A = this chain, B = another copy of it.
Amino acid sequence: MSLLVVGTVAFDAIETPFGKTDKIIGGAATYAGLAASYFTKNINLVSVVGDDFPQQTIDLMNTRGINTQGLQVKQGEKTFFWSGKYHNDMNTRDTLITDLNVLADFHPVVPESYKNCEFLMLGNLMPRIQMAVIDQLPVRPKLIVMDTMNFWMDIAMDDLLKTIAKVDVLTINDAEARQLSGEYSLVKAAQKILDLGPKYLVIKKGEHGALLFNKENVFFAPALPLEDVFDPTGAGDSFAGGFIGFLAQTKDISFDNMKRGIIFGSAMASFCVEKFGTERLIDLSQDEVDERVQEFVDLVQFDIALV
């Protein structure tokens, strides 16, 4: 039983109304892997960095149970770098710099020892790369969760649709669900997207929570109302990592357990946004995670006995 996490490991430089960072550690796979590490310790990473990436961070990942044998370190090359600035509402941002660097020519290689993975998290990447990972697995994982973004809908829709057809759970935000389906109503959008292949769809609405759909059911989890959202970067990836990490831990992919996974994922996202970058995800205690999940329970629970 293992969880394979594929996605970017990167440097980010972030500006929010609360402050500004130099180059800090980022990347979808970094956030997802760290978030998942609070639930399962058998995590394998496939990604790529340059020789400028700090060994200290790789060591940290290893300490948290993330195997980095599948992390390619390209000598003489630079790590993927993204820089962005958030608007005052923290819901929208401008990309200032995207230096693909090592990502421009990334060919994922899944090590032999990873190939029996039962859970696969495909972080946001070019759909062709996501597909290349699926193609390298001799046995289909029990559950494949895929994240993507509007950028690929704009420039690689054919590849995107082929990849979406291969996965179990697709995670996108509300604007992306509308773009992908051509429907404004998220209920209608979800039904159209489920017709593309995935059995489950998670629509992430940021501060407005997340919806989980399958053909018959819908579940809603709120985001935790926070005093301050310090830096939203990585929230979606932390959500996905917490979600699949919890499913891998419990080995239960029923709709009811996915609902729990959504709550644990939302809890990890709520930690993520409290500090810049991955800082808050590095050394949470089990008590902190449990307390946070209890806050979600308290936030939405009510008892109505209908006759």
Contact = CB atoms under 8 A, between A and B. Distances in A.
Contact of A299 (B220, B256, B293): B220
Interface string A207-245: 011010000011111100111110000000000000000
A104 interface: no
Which of A218, A222, A256, A297 neighbours the largest number of chain B CB atoms within 10 Å of its CB?
Answer: A222
**Copies of this chain, tallied across the complex:** 2
In this complex, the interface size class of chain A, counting residues with CB under 8 Å from chain B, is: 35 or more
Interface stretch (A60-68, A115-123, A179-187): A179-187
A30 to B, nearest CB: 27
A186 B262 CA distance: 23
A300 B220 contact: yes
B304 A297 contact: yes
Closest 8 CB pairs of A and B: A208-B208, A259-B302, A220-B222, A187-B227, A187-B225, A300-B300, A220-B299, A290-B306
Interface string A170-195: 00000000000000111110000000
A228 B293 CA distance: 32
Nearest to A188: B227
A113 interface: no
